[in-house]
Amino acid sequence: MELESIKHSSWSKLASHEEINPQRNVRIRVSDQLNQVVKSDLVLPIGLVNTVLHAGGKLSVQLDRFDPQELNKLIAGTAHGQKPQQMIAGDDCIEVTVE
């Protein structure tokens, strides 16, 4: 009975009844170009990744050797609906996708 009254309260009428967008994640995979061995495979919420990179923080020890601005460009390109982005850095291939 009380739950029904909450559903029809003034506050519930103000709340948005739209569906919440599902959380999007960024997958950052680092692999060796020569033998295709995956060195690192991170899946993190896109909001967290953007916040950390914008604040100059670190996502992972494995990604420290890569330019954060270049990583940010890859993520931004992928997040705007483009196909997965890749970058070659030395012997490593970095692939960024949004899931």
Q: What is the pLDDT of residues 72-98, one digit of tens each?
A: 888 888 877 668 889 998 899 999 998
* Tens of pLDDT, residues 27-42: 999 999 999 899 999 9
- In the beta sheet, which residues pair with residue 40? 30
pLDDT > 70? residue 12:
no
Band (66; pLDDT cuts 50, 70, 90): confident
Cα separation, 93 vs 99, whole angstroms? 19
pLDDT > 90? residue 63:
no
pTM here? 0.72
Decide: 85 and 74 in contact? Cβ < 8 Å.
Answer: yes
Helices 68-79 and 46-54: angle between axes, nearest 10 degrees: 150
Give 86 or 1, the one with higher predicted confidence.
86
The angle at the Cα of 78, spanning 29 to 88, to the nearest 5 degrees, equals 45
* Tens of pLDDT, residues 39-58: 999 999 988 988 888 888 88
pLDDT > 70? residue 1:
no
One-letter amino acid for residue 22 of the chain: P
